[in-house]
Chains A and B, each alone.
Chain A
Amino acid sequence: MIHQPTRIEPSTEYGLIGLAFSGGGIRSATFNLGVIQALARKGILKYVDYLSTVSGGGYIGSCISSLLNNSTYGTDGQDFPFYHEQGEPERETFRHLRNNSNYLAPGGLLDKLRIPAVVLRGVLVNLLVLIPYIVLAVALSEWCFELFGYDVTTDPGPISGLLMHPILFGAIGLFVLYILLFPPITKLLVPYLKWRWRDRYGKSFGVLLLVVVLAVTVILLPHSFYWFDKLDLGEVWLGIVALAQLLPALFAGKAAENVSKLIGRVALYAVGLLGPLVLFILYLYLYTFLFWDGESPYIAWIYSGAVVLFFYTRMTVNVNATSPHGYYRDRLSKAYMFQVANGQVSDTDTLRLSALNDEGTLGPYHLVNVAHNLNGSADPNLRGRNADFFILSKHFCGSDRVGYCDTKKMEKIDPHLNLGTAMAISGAAAAPNMGTTTIPSLVFIMAFLNIRLGYWLPNPGQLHASASSLWRRIWSWVRNRPLSPFSGAGPYYLIKELFGKITAQDNYVNISDGGHLENMGAYELLRRRCRYIIVGDGEADPDHTFHGLATLIRYAQIDLGIKIEMDLNDLRNREDGFSKKHCAFGTIHYDENETGYLLYIKSSMTDDENEYIREYRNNNPAFPHESTGDQFFDESQFEAYRALGYHIVNKLCAGLCIDGRATLEDWFETLLGVSLTPQFELTEEFVELQEQLRFIEQQFQDPEFAEYTRQIYPELATEGAEDGAHDSADTNRRIFHLCNLQLQLMENVVLALRLDTVYARDHVVNRGWMNLFGRWANTSHLQNAWRVSSDTYSIQFQLFWKEALDSERTTSESR
């Protein structure tokens, strides 16, 4: 009997530990290099089960995964590839990354020129793909004009005369009539219609308006040839429009920042129209060339050429190969995919995803997060996200939308897919269709200008379907011939990108930067119910608004029903530009029975950093949130980000001694307390509270308070000591006031250290205060004073007294 493999529900019971690196280009990669260095040095990394990366986080994540795929490296101490021994020169691994921090154009002028050359090459190939369609439009136009006896070379006269054209007149008349019928229909008919029919009726107005617009286009189109010829500006217009198309590349980012403003939106639409405009001018130019002075003798050549060009591009163009993806991927691969043997660096460019984490190696299971773009999908569940989650990993590629397929099979069908490619796709920040960050008005022009870093991957769902029937197998065979017009990601997918009509049903899925949907990289870790999640956030967030983290928390709540609680107040920017802390710790409520913890490490400054980090900040005030557009790091920049990441984790783990998984789990539990404990050594509060305590201690030196002192410290009690009942009324009054001083100090400490929470009370740092308060609260004097004055203190302190002191005393007494 064959037993089906069991379906395993993700659970925190497994105690899984996940590490996520956020997006943010080389900035995040370098910051997280420091983070993972410190995690390895502190003995934490070896316990990490999952590494989940997005975009720039994937640069360093893939680098470490590729290095750890060599069994000579490990995840602990000196075995870690980026371990740096004090007093020793840096390892070659380090030097290689530093030397390649200018990865996009490290070779000077020629390499810098490659970027525009790659873009230009792609634009021309895109034109080759589109020209057959323009020729087809020209041929169809001429056929229509001949059919209706339309002479486009004659002067159409003033535009006002066109209003009386029968087509336009009919369309406008129909629209007006429809509106005239609107009142009686709504009064007599609509109330009795079902919702669906009412909706259709509403939509019919839009259809009629579209008919009017089409009518105007049909009327004006023939005359555009006349005006185009009369102005004789074809070449000039084409040149101006073509040059103007560089605008999106130069200003799209800036305009996008102001997209919410009206002017910004108008500007974006104006820029976006330039793409269709250049194609329209090409169309006008070609038509006038072929038909203006009678039929051109070249017409047969041009038609034949268009047909040849159509099949040539269908057979040879792969939109993945003609996009800048290859250039970007190779540059990234050169910088981050390498191994070191005998001091020599060699590349691991072709390291397959399925070959990762092989037996005997120690790398965490790597999840490369990408966004599955679905701009053309009508699925209401997307709610404007325009994308869905998608993973690339050792065993499987896919998503809950299209399904999963074996990575080995995917690599066989698309041999280009490997770790380097996955890293580049995950970091494909600039693309026409980019999930939640898509700018609809720029989709066409960005695709036309070949600003397409995304990738078309065989659809995992279709791969399964392809084996299901004979017809599909035959079709699959035909499609997979190298020069088949239907093979690979052909021009059809460029058209899809141009018009933003990308869905999940095609043979290929469009995937791009995971940050186009979720930039922390922790979503998939939440899906797997990791009990402990560490997030290294190096995204650009100069105002500390935590956009990426907030998005993750929102998606977790909506999609997975997971509630994440986290207090970020200490991470917010103060007026001096620094934050109080670098990290926050939160609780993940998976369900009623399962809880996890989230350690959030923010690329931030608290003014406790070393001198060269501060010096870099002084010279570059945007640090550590310099623009992601800056992918050309110099030495000081690289080191400042790396050192910051290292500093944050090193400080967080100060004094930590990991001895087994249980110790690590204890550390996580106590971290919540740490996160709630203000860093008193950095504030004046600590000094002030100590002053108050010193004052109280001085009061106790008064002989009148001897009995009270013995109550607090019964160990000091001796036989024959005076009984508290014999204290004079004046002494009691003075003790009462002293007790109030104590209570006020206790309240201050409770509020400052958040001792109203269990985690903070249990934390080792606060143990001294808790012991002292316990002794005080055990005295009859303080209890009497509390009974009298408790309602003059804050509700937090009252709760603290009840939960931490009353209940503790009750427990002790019951024992």
Chain B
Amino acid sequence: MADQSNGSGGQPESPEEQFKRAVFPSELERVVERQKQAEVDDEGKVKDVLKKHQDPDDTSTYQDRTLN
């Protein structure tokens, strides 16, 4: 398993954690943007669910989720 840190000097992060912290959320961000652009987010569903899952203080964006 690769020895990787989460970019903020923390503990090594496993690829599975990377997926949940960086990969999947960054994809969801793009999904939200695209749905808004395509005017198909009639319920803002993804964004709402994302808010429910995220830490209320978490204002990070894709740029913050980089792995290096």
Chain A residues within 8 Å of B, Cβ to Cβ: 2-11, 13-16, 46-47, 49-50, 74-76, 357, 359-365, 393-396, 398-406, 409, 460-465, 467-468, 528, 660-662
Contacts and interface: CB of A to CB of B under 8 A. Distances in A.
A2 B31 contact: no
Contact of B49 (A14, A361, A463): A14
Interface string B1-42: 111111010100001111111111111101101110110111
A6 B15 contact: no
16 contacts: A5-B60, A6-B58, A7-B20, A8-B20, A8-B53, A14-B46, A50-B31, A75-B38, A362-B37, A404-B23, A406-B67, A461-B15, A462-B2, A465-B2, A468-B3, A660-B42
Nearest to A10: B24
Contacts of B18: 398, 403-404
A47 B46 CA distance: 12
A399 B15 CA distance: 7
The 9 closest A-B pairs by CB, nearest first: A461-B2, A403-B2, A7-B20, A5-B60, A464-B4, A403-B15, A395-B26, A6-B54, A400-B15
A406 B35 CA distance: 23
B29 to A, nearest CB: 9
A3 B38 contact: no
A327 B55 CA distance: 49
B68 A464 contact: yes
Contact of B42 (A359, A404, A405, A662): A662
Contacts of B64: 5
Contact of B28 (A14, A47, A362, A465): A14
Choose among B2, B54, B62 the residue with the greatest number of A CB atoms under 10 Å from its CB: B2
Contacts of B37: 359-362
A36 to B, nearest CB: 15
A50 B26 CA distance: 13
B67 A404 contact: yes
Nearest to B33: A359
A364 B38 CA distance: 10
A778 to B, nearest CB: 39
Nearest to A45: B38
Main secondary structure of the interface of A (DSSP, over half): loop
B15 A365 contact: no
Nearest to A359: B33
Given A4-B6, A5-B58, A400-B15, A14 B25 contact: no
A396 B65 CA distance: 11
B26 A16 contact: no
Nearest to A659: B42
Nearest to A75: B38
Given A15-B46, A404-B23, A461-B2, A4 B10 contact: yes
B8 A4 contact: yes
Contact of B46 (A9, A16, A404, A461): A16
A396 B20 contact: no
A395 B31 CA distance: 12
Contacts of B66: 406
Contacts of B27: 50, 365, 393, 395, 528
A10 B19 CA distance: 10
A357 B37 CA distance: 11
A118 B55 CA distance: 55
Contact of A460 (B2, B10, B17, B43): B2
A233 B1 CA distance: 52
B21 A5 contact: yes
A33 to B, nearest CB: 21
Contact of A406 (B28, B42, B68): B68
A521 to B, nearest CB: 16
Nearest to B10: A4
A253 to B, nearest CB: 35
Contacts of B58: 3-6
A7 to B, nearest CB: 4
A357 B2 contact: no
Contacts of A401: 1, 15
Contacts of A462: 2
Given A403-B15, A662-B43, A6 B22 contact: no
A39 to B, nearest CB: 14
A464 B31 contact: no
A365 B68 contact: no
A364 B40 contact: no
Given A6-B58, A75-B38, A365 B30 contact: yes
A468 B8 CA distance: 13
Q: Most chain-B Cβ atoms within 10 A of its Cβ — which of A6, A74, A365, A399?
A: A6
Nearest to A661: B42
A8 B25 contact: yes
Nearest to A405: B67
Nearest to B46: A14
A404 B28 contact: no
A402 B2 contact: yes
Given A357-B34, A359-B33, A8 B50 contact: yes
A11 B49 contact: yes
A401 B45 CA distance: 32
A404 B40 contact: no
A76 B35 CA distance: 13
A8 B27 CA distance: 11
A528 B24 contact: yes
Nearest to B25: A8
A74 B43 CA distance: 21
Given A16-B31, A393-B27, A461-B2, 16 more contacts: A5-B22, A6-B21, A6-B53, A8-B20, A8-B54, A13-B49, A46-B40, A49-B34, A361-B34, A362-B37, A365-B34, A399-B15, A404-B18, A409-B68, A661-B45, A662-B43
By CB atoms of chain A within 10 A, which of B18, B21, B62 has the most? B18
Given A6-B54, A14-B28, A461 B4 contact: yes
A2 B8 contact: yes
Nearest to A408: B66
Contacts of A464: 2-5, 67-68
A398 B4 CA distance: 13
Contact of B31 (A6, A49, A399): A49
A205 to B, nearest CB: 35
Contacts of B67: 396, 403-406, 464
Nearest to A11: B49
A396 B26 contact: yes
B60 to A, nearest CB: 4
| Best-surrounded residue of B18, B30, B35 (most CB of chain A within 10 A) | B30
A80 to B, nearest CB: 12
A6 B55 contact: yes
A401 B2 CA distance: 8
Nearest to A663: B42
Nearest to A9: B20
